[in-house]
Every structure is written in structure tokens, then in C-alpha cells.
Amino acid sequence: MLWYCRFRWHENTRADDVRRRVLEQHDLGNNKADKIRGWYNLVGGGAGFLLIESDSPHEVTDLLQPYMDLVSWDVHAVYELPYGRMIEEIRKQLQVSA
């Protein structure tokens, strides 16, 4: 399962706080890099999102918890919709309903 994990830095969080925590968790082996499909920052900084691959919501929570004093999280399960396949499916659905 794929999880969209949007983050926003708390008001008093500094970039160096986040950098230190990321390295600390990495060195401890807690970031589970094999589970992180993507890490995206928003232009301007202070916010972004991770895409995490996991069948366990508990595993996702374990990965995010060490950062909760620095950022707030908004987490949702998501699934991919390949564009070409979706166009075909939409055409079929419209033909059936016509």
C-alpha cells in the first residue's frame, strides 16, 4: 500500500533541526529508506510530502513519529491511476451508462 504523508514544519522548527533529525534517524536505521518511494519538498521550504510503501499503518506511524516534535503530518492511503488505463476505463464506463 502507498501512503501520502504530507508534512509541514512547526512554527519554531529550523532547517538545521530537521537536518539533524534526519541524519540521526538514518544512522539509527529508523528511516527505512527502502520504504520511502519519494521525498518531495515544496518550493519555499517548510513543507512537502513523502510517499511511503508499506502494508502496515503501524510501520508508517513508527517511521513518522520521531519527527512529530518538528513537523505535523497529514497521512492518507493512496493508489496509482496509470493515465492510459484510466482513459480506457472511463470510456468503458461511459459506454455502459449510455
Query: What CATH number corresponds to the domain at position 36?
Result: 3.30.70.1060
Q: 51 and 3 in contact (C-beta within 8 Å)?
A: yes
pLDDT digits (tens, 9 = 90+) for 53-82: 999 999 999 999 999 999 999 999 999 999
pTM over 0.95: no
| Number of domain units in the chain | 1
Query: Can you give the residue range of the structural domain that contains 17?
Result: 2-97
pLDDT tens, 6-44?
999 999 999 999 999 999 999 999 999 999 999 999 999
74 forms bridges with which residues in the sheet? 6
Residue from 8, 61, 10, 74 nearest 32 by CA: 61
Q: Are 93 and 15 in contact (CB under 8 A)?
A: no
Cα 25 to Cα 32: distance, rounded to the nearest angstrom: 9
